[in-house]
Amino acid sequence: MEIEIKVKINDRKIIRKKLLALSAIFQGKTHQVDTYFSLYKRPYTKKRGSIVRLRRNVDTKKVILAFHTDKRYSETDECEIEVSDLKETQRMLKLMKARPEAVVDKVRQHFKLGRFLIVLDKVKGLGDYIEVELESKNYQDSIKKILDFYKKLGIDAKSNIRYPGYLQLTLAKKNKKYICF
């Protein structure tokens, strides 16, 4: 399972320097535009639910269709497939009565350090964030390891933690608590 903790930050450049000083390996930069769809009679609440995401990588033109089911605030089950035809995929979603609810536009800098996957994000309309992720079967152990990693970066993760994802933060800006037909 994927365990991640997202934290709001003030200066991506300072955090980037700290990551490199810890020997994190820069793995590239991407520009992603995610469109989130609610599913007919399957609500996505602020606590848990299911959602479809259509992710377009602006740089590579790669398109990924994903289905997400939240288990806890920082844990999700995900299923993703690459699609070759964006227009036809959008048409299929419309026929399935999936409704576009929000768009999240972000520029990401990717790093790897040991088992940690780290992303520095600049999210349109939301600001700058760092996201640290571990693949693990042990939820509590992973949370502790991620919080300890934030301490190494000098980030007070507990006071700046953002359990909601960018979708929830975007919906909150629109004064929507959840999405449902």
Task: Please state the rounded mean pLDDT for residues 20-46.
Answer: 84
What's the confidence (pLDDT) of residue 78? Answer: 80
Position 120 confidence tier, pLDDT thresholds 50, 70, 90: very high
Least confident of 28-32, 67-71, 129-133: 67-71
| Residue of 78 and 122 predicted with greater confidence | 122
Band of pLDDT at residue 49, cut at 50, 70 and 90: low
CA-to-CA separations, 95 to 36, 53, 79, 111, in angstroms, rounded: 16, 16, 20, 38
| Radius of gyration for the chain, computed over Cα atoms and rounded to the nearest angstrom | 17
Better-predicted residue by pLDDT, 71 or 166? 166
Residue 170 has pLDDT above 50, yes or no: yes
Q: What is the C-alpha to C-alpha distance for residues 25 and 94, in angstroms, rounded to an integer?
A: 40
pLDDT score for 166: 86
pLDDT, mean of residues 147-175: 81
Tell me the domains of the chain and their CATH numbers.
2-173 (2.40.320.10)
Which has the higher per-residue pLDDT, 94 or 175? 94
Average pLDDT over residues 85-112: 93
Lowest mean pLDDT among 58-62, 133-137, 142-146, 175-179: 175-179
Q: Whole-prediction pTM value?
A: 0.81
Q: Is 41 left (phi over 0), alpha (psi -120 to 50) or beta?
A: left
Tell me, what's the pLDDT at 181? Answer: 37
Which is higher by pLDDT, 41 or 22? 22
- Judge whether 34 and 54 are in contact, CB under 8 Å: yes
